[in-house]
């Protein structure tokens, strides 16, 4: 399945190898006709025209946003969830490169790739939501709103994207066979990882800090000065559980790329991540209750939104925590994976609660996304998965490039 270029191959041969995996264009296209690809094509067939409508007719035509609800699905899910679930890059990067947990080395690269693509497609999603997306560079280059948490989010996401790209560069250069550049990229990995951890701490918590400016609008059970810490904690949880989730699919879909010993090792790594997730969920659960105590709104628990808060905190934080504990104790990687998916849903629920459901809780009018908003979100996720697959099928992400085996120690 994997093809390597001989150094003397012609440019055309190299292109064929790199782009068409060694097949002729005709052969390659025939291979693309799979059920998944047909579904993806259908999604794109709807998504691309809607994209055209969005950028020619504006937000009113393609969203249900109002003056009372300036933020909807694209911010609540595409941006807030996307960033939280792409946190695997910095979580695993720091585990392997900074804390020296080398046993996780095999899953660092897919995690970094998930992080890189996750943030990249968050920026794409954001471009759909912004009123003037071509002005996205303005807070970096034109006018500086230093009092704004959003200013930090913008800067950090931009810098972090570059950081994740640098961390992924070794894989790209190995694919292209550019040895000198690859050496440089490996040398700066540690620095990039440290920089990435700093940026991630800041922007994951900054996304929560955005809502510090909305005390009158966000329901008191969710509004707390601890919001930045909550978002950081749930992002770390989201990162780890997404890595479990993504590696589960990668190992099935790309199983031919992965060596036998990796398959054996894989369950052990899954269990390890499950253990970490359990501990983090337990701490996060406690933090949520500290937040309630701080605000002294215990009475609000006995209201419809109060019950919803309990659903989120007990149903989607405590219970997955218990499932992780149970699964780890009986060494069931399958149950760890189930708990991971469950947790990911819980994090999405939390972000949607903060930005949409518990937001404007005092107002009688509610917001529900237009179908076009769902289409755009699903399209972006689909393109993200397709990109992930394209890269993993070509670059040494799930396997080690034979030209560079001994350098797979740290740094």
The footprint of another protein (CB under 8 A) covers 55-61, 63, 65, 67-68, 70-71, 94, 97-100, 129-133, 135-136, 138-139, 142-154, 187, 190-191, 194-195, 197-198, 201-202, 205-206, 209-210, 212-217, 225, 228, 410
CB nearer to another protein: give 57 or 286.
Answer: 57
- Least distance CB 135 / another protein (angstroms): 4
Question: Which residues have C-beta within 8 Å of that of residue 347, sequence separation ≥ 6?
Answer: 81, 84, 85, 234, 237, 238, 241
- Least distance CB 97 / another protein (angstroms): 7
CA distances from 82 to 145, 155, 160 (A): 24, 17, 14
29: exposed, middle or buried (C-beta count within 10 Å: 0-12, 13-18, 19+)? exposed
CB nearer to another protein: give 201 or 257.
Answer: 201
CB nearer to another protein: give 199 or 242.
Answer: 199
Bridge partners (DSSP) listed for residue 218? 359
Dump the DSSP string for 228-278.
HHHHHHHHHHHHHHHHHHHHHHHHHHTGGGS-HHHHHHHHHHHHHHHHHHH
- Least distance CB 122 / another protein (angstroms): 14
- Least distance CB 319 / another protein (angstroms): 30
CB nearer to another protein: give 67 or 264.
Answer: 67
CB nearer to another protein: give 187 or 263.
Answer: 187
The residue count of the chain comes to: 411
Phi, psi dihedrals of residue 142, rounded to the nearest 5°: -110, -50
Tokens of 152: 């930090």
- Least distance CB 101 / another protein (angstroms): 8
Nearest CA-CA partner of 193 in 112, 122, 273: 112
Residue whose pair of structure tokens reads 């996750």 in the numeric block: 118
Nearest CA-CA partner of 377 in 124, 10, 29, 184: 124
- Least distance CB 151 / another protein (angstroms): 4
Cβ neighbours, 10 Å, residue 34: 9
CB nearer to another protein: give 205 or 241.
Answer: 205
CB nearer to another protein: give 222 or 316.
Answer: 222
- Least distance CB 59 / another protein (angstroms): 5
CB nearer to another protein: give 150 or 287.
Answer: 150
- Least distance CB 311 / another protein (angstroms): 25
- Least distance CB 286 / another protein (angstroms): 21
Dump the DSSP string for 24-63.
-HHHHHHHT--HHHHHHHHHHHHHHHHHHHHHHH-HHHH-
What is the rounded CA–CA span in Å between residue 364 and residue 90?
A: 41
Nearest CA-CA partner of 211 in 343, 80, 364, 63: 80
CB nearer to another protein: give 114 or 189.
Answer: 189
Beta carbons of 276 and 91 less than 8 angstroms apart: no
CB nearer to another protein: give 214 or 387.
Answer: 214
- Least distance CB 377 / another protein (angstroms): 18
CB nearer to another protein: give 25 or 411.
Answer: 411
3-state secondary structure of 3: coil
What is the rounded CA–CA span in Å between residue 252 and residue 260?
A: 13
- Least distance CB 222 / another protein (angstroms): 14
Alpha helices in 259-400 (DSSP H): 260-295, 304-310, 319-329, 333-352, 371-392
């Amino acid at each position: 399945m994997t093809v390597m270029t001989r150094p003397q191959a012609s440019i055309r041969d190299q292109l064929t190898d790199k782009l068409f995996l060694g097949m002729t264009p005709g052969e390659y296209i025939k291979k693309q006709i799979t059920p998944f690809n047909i579904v993806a094509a259908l999604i794109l067939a709807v998504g691309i025209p809607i994209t055209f409508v969005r950028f020619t007719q504006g937000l009113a035509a393609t969203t249900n946003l109002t003056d009372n609800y300036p933020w909807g699905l694209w911010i609540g899910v595409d941006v807030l969830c996307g960033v939280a679930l792409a946190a695997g890059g910095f979580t695993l990067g720091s585990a392997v490169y900074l804390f020296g947990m080398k046993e996780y080395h095999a899953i660092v690269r897919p995690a970094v790739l998930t992080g890189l693509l996750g943030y990249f497609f968050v920026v794409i999603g954001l471009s759909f939501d912004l009123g003037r997306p071509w002005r996205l560079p303005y807070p970096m280059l034109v006018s500086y709103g230093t009092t704004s948490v959003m200013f930090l989010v913008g800067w950090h996401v931009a810098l972090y994207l570059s950081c994740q790209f640098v961390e992924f560069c070794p894989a790209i250069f190995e694919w292209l066979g550019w040895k000198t550049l690859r050496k440089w990229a490996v040398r700066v990995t540690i620095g990039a990882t440290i920089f990435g951890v700093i940026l991630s701490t800041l922007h994951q918590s900054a996304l929560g800090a955005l809502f510090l400016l909305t005390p009158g609008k966000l329901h008191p059970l969710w509004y707390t000065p601890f919001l930045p810490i909550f978002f950081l904690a749930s992002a770390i949880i989201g990162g780890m559980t997404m890595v479990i989730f993504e590696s589960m699919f990668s190992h099935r879909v790309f199983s031919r790329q992965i060596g036998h010993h990796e398959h054996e090792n894989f369950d052990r790594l899954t269990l390890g991540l499950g253990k970490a997730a359990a501990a983090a969920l337990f701490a996060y659960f406690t933090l949520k209750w500290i937040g309630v105590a701080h605000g002294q709104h215990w009475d609000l628990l006995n209201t419809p939104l109060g019950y919803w808060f309990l659903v989120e905190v007990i149903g989607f934080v405590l219970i997955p925590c218990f499932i992780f504990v149970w699964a780890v104790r009986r060494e069931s990687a399958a149950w760890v994976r189930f708990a991971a998916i469950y947790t990911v849903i819980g994090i999405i629920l939390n972000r949607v609660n903060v930005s949409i459901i518990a937001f404007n809780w005092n107002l009688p009018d509610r917001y529900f996304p237009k179908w076009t908003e769902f289409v755009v979100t699903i399209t972006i996720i689909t393109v993200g998965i397709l990109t992930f697959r394209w890269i993993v099928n070509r670059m040494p992400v799930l396997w080690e490039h034979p030209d560079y085996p001994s350098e797979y120690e740290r740094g």
